[in-house]
Amino acid sequence: MAGKSFARLARFAMVMTALSCVSAAPAFARLSVIDDIVPDYTPADTLDGNYLAAIIAGASRDTSAAAIFFHEALKDDPRNVDLRERAFVAFLANGSMPEAIATARDIARGDRNNGLAQLVLGVDALQRKQYTSARRFFDRGGRGRAADITATLLNAWSWAGSKNFPEALGTVDNLSGESIYNVFRDFHAGLIATYLGSARQGEERLAAAYAAEGTTLRVVDAYGRVLSQRGKQDEAKAVYERFDKLLPRHPVVHYALAELAAGRKLSPLITTPQQGAAEVLYGLGAAGNGQGDEIAGLIYLNLALHLDPENALASMTRGDILVRLKQYEAAIVAFDKVPVKSPLRIGADVQIAGALNTLERQDDAIAFLTRVLERQPDNIDALSALGGIQQARKLYAESAKTYTRAIDLVGTPDVGHWMLFYFRGVAYERAKEWAKAEADLKKALELGSETIGSDRALILNYLGYSWIDRNENMDEAFEMLKRAAELKPRDGYIADSLAWAYYKLGRYDDAVRELERAIELKPSESVVNDHLGDAYWRVGRRIEAVFQWNHARDLNPEPEELPKILDKIKNGLPDEKDTGVRKMQNGKLIKAETEADAAKKANSEKSPK
């Protein structure tokens, strides 16, 4: 199905853009988001009311609301142990660090074995450069696999803070057992050695981490930086270039390569013990995020940001988690904490605009990206995001112009630019400039070969459906839609497109089968219900057809489709002989003869030879 659900397409565009963003130069002036973005929660008047509201918010994983309501409840019943522990976790998950630290002290006074409280107190002590106190807290809190690795690495960084090289490296080297420990061990040993002044030993340990985990950005960046510090610029460049082939145009890599090309040495990844400890917590938070444990991931990331508020990756990852939890206002605040000088800032700005778009604040998103582009007019990522949101706002002509600006900046396009042509093609099609749309969709198909995997189904679906709907290139379009369905068998829109191809070819039983499958995948899509009504009518299931059309009418169809649906509800479909659909006959596709065709044929037969 094409031309029906462009808010979704715009969101997909921004997600894909954020994953492959190219940052020519970071912005150097913070672009504030809308002041009223964070919702204002009003506390209840009673302890029970605040407690129940906090529990509901926690179950919904609304960290902001849970923290606010638990805070109010705890004021009314500060000695309640269960309430205090629930509030503690809520404060940590929300990043309410003053409340979390104060609550950790209360918990630790009554329960010295509470590992999470000891961890929080240790992190706070390390942040305040009280390294001996930090080690005491970490030693009390280390129990279990995750706690042991956390306490060990944080202890090592506290020894680095105390400038004790042997104890710092010796503590790191206590990690043993599972193979993943080896990477953590060598990575942090290399960072500590570099921080304490031994770049040679830092290079050796980071080289070991790189050999084991050369596809991890943080390892690549740390190793490339220490090579640059050691004057090995060509080797550093080669490290980044190898990663660039795996994940092209990542902004961190792009920035490093630009610095090396300019003849500048890269700064070390870590310059303070607080940054090093934050790196430990960021790594654990990112790992938890990947495993689907969002609340634990948020806790680690918030602790990392308490130690190092400028950690861009921690803020980006925190924002990503909040988006996944559908906490879009909080995500905007998280993304806006990415430092303006960071290569990741443009990705954060794109994500902010995407969250505004999801909140149906498209005009705010457009205004925000317009301000970004005033400072970085040649940024392809911001242009692509703006074009996507303009499509969501149904500003199709403006969207096409924006994508044209991005395409003009590309020069010679490669496989990584297929989305620009695809989405400009979508904009042209919606603006009723089919010739331009068709050319762009074909170009996207050319660039987006099988190497892009299942994403190729998007192009096949849009172009194939458009041809089918226009009664053009029917055979080729049908094969394209079958391939799209193979690539994305659980995509309801593609199932609808293939079903509509069957319908246009006169294969109504096949159309019914595919549309019933599509309706299971997308039961609330007006166009799928409308198509199923058409198919039911053609196979003689007319009561069911009218039911589906009524359902389509109630599901907010496109304005231009509503009159057609109402007419079908009242009058049904015209006889098949009036439609000119193609049908199968003796294994070949033929076009059904319309009344106009028949009249023309009759007149031809009457005319003299």
Output the DSSP codes for 95-112.
T-HHHHHHHHHHHHHH-T
113-141 residue pLDDT tens: 899 999 999 999 999 999 999 999 998 87
Q: Which of 248-252, 255-259, 314-318, 512-516 has the lowest mean pLDDT?
A: 248-252
* Buried/exposed 289-305: b ≥16 CB within 10 Å, e otherwise: beeeebbbbbbbbbbbb
Please indicate, yes or no, if residue 386 is contained in any of the structural domains: yes
Of the residues 92, 111, 130, the one at which a domain ends: 111
Distance CA(143)–CA(298), nearest Å, equals 20
pLDDT at 21: 36
Residue written as token pair 């709907």? 469
**Lookup: tokens for 512:** 């019914």
Residue 207's pLDDT band (boundaries 50, 70, 90)?
Answer: very high
State the maximum Cα–Cα separation within the chain, in Å, rounded to a whole number: 109
* Same domain for 315 and 250: no
Domain assignment of residue 244, given as a range: 176-271
- The CATH number of residue 92's host domain is 1.25.40
What tokens appear for 547 in the block? Answer: 């039911």
- Same domain for 364 and 439, yes or no, is yes
Verify that 61 and 99 share a domain, yes or no: yes
Nearest alpha-carbon partner for 91 in 285, 282, 286, 299: 299
296 within a domain of the structure (yes/no): yes
DSSP state of 593: P
401 lies in some domain: yes
8 A C-beta contact, residue 338 and residue 308: no
Residue 244 CA to its chain's centroid (Å): 20
Residues 444 and 361 in one domain: yes
Reported as a single tens digit per residue, the pLDDT across 396-441 is 999 999 999 999 999 899 998 999 999 999 999 999 999 999 999 9
pLDDT value for 142? 59
Amino acid identity of 64? S
Spatial separation of the C-alpha atoms in residues 503 and 579, rounded to whole Å: 12
Average pLDDT rounded to a whole number, residues 485-496: 95
Residue 194 belongs to domain with CATH number? 1.25.40.10
Q: What are the tens digits of pLDDT across the range 364-391?
A: 999 999 999 998 999 999 999 999 999 9
**571-595 confidence digits (pLDDT tens):** 999 987 655 444 444 334 444 444 4
The pLDDT, as a whole number, for residue 146 is 53
Given a cut of 80, whether residue 538 has pLDDT beyond it is yes
pTM: 0.81
Chain center to CA of 43: 32
Same domain, 320 and 399: no
- Is 50 exceeded by the pLDDT of residue 12? no
Per-residue model confidence as pLDDT tens digits over 21-39: 333 333 334 445 555 566 6
Tell me: the pLDDT tens digits for 310-366?
A: 999 999 999 999 999 999 999 999 999 999 999 999 999 999 999 999 999 999 999
- What is the predicted pLDDT for the residue at 287? 79
Is 481 or 144 the better-scoring residue by pLDDT? 481
Handedness of CA 14, 17, 21, 23 (dihedral sign): negative
165 pLDDT above the threshold of 60: yes
- Indicate whether 125 belongs to any domain: no
Summarised one tens digit per residue, pLDDT across range 29-87 is: 444 555 556 666 788 888 989 989 999 988 888 999 999 999 999 998 988 999 999 99
- C-alpha span between 329 and 332 (Å, rounded): 5
Q: How many domains does the chain have?
A: 4
Cα 410 to Cα 419: distance, rounded to the nearest angstrom = 12
Last residue in a domain, options 418, 448, 478: 448
Answer yes or no: do 53 and 75 share one domain: yes
15 versus 305: which is more confidently predicted? 305
Q: Are residues 18 and 37 in the same domain?
A: no
Of 176-185, 478-487, 505-514, the one with minimum mean pLDDT is 176-185
| Contacts of residue 365, Cβ cutoff 8 Å, sequence gap at least 6 | 353, 354, 356, 357, 389
Q: Would you say 319 and 334 are in contact if contact means Cβ atoms under 8 Å apart?
A: yes
For residue range 254-270, list pLDDT tens digits in order: 999 999 999 999 999 99
Percent of the chain with pLDDT over 90: 76
d(CA 129, CA 146): 24
Q: Which of 293 and 243 is assigned the larger pLDDT?
A: 243
Q: Which of 239, 271, 303 is the last residue of a domain?
A: 271
Mark whether 320 and 369 lie in a shared domain: no
Q: Are residues 21 and 48 in the same domain?
A: no
251 and 299 housed in the same domain:
no
Q: How wide is the angle at C-alpha 460 spanned by C-alphas 474 and 581, nearest 5°?
A: 20
Average pLDDT over residues 264-277: 96
Query: Is 468 inside any structural domain?
Result: no
Indicate the burial class of 93 (C-beta count within 10 angstroms; 0-12, 13-18, 19 or more): buried
Encoding tokens for residue 353?
A: 């605009």
Instruction: Provide, rounded to the nearest whole percent, the portion of the chain with pLDDT above 70.
Output: 86
Same domain? 84 vs 59 = yes
CA pseudo-torsion sign 405, 387, 448, 290: positive
pLDDT band with cut points at 50, 70 and 90 for residue 148: confident
Residue at 370 is within a domain = yes
pLDDT at 180: 74
Interior/surface letters 426-451, b for 16+ CB within 10 angstroms, e for the rest: bbbbbbebeebbbebbebbbebbeee
Instruction: Please check whether residues 443 and 393 belong to one and the same domain.
Output: yes
Note the pLDDT of residue 577: 64
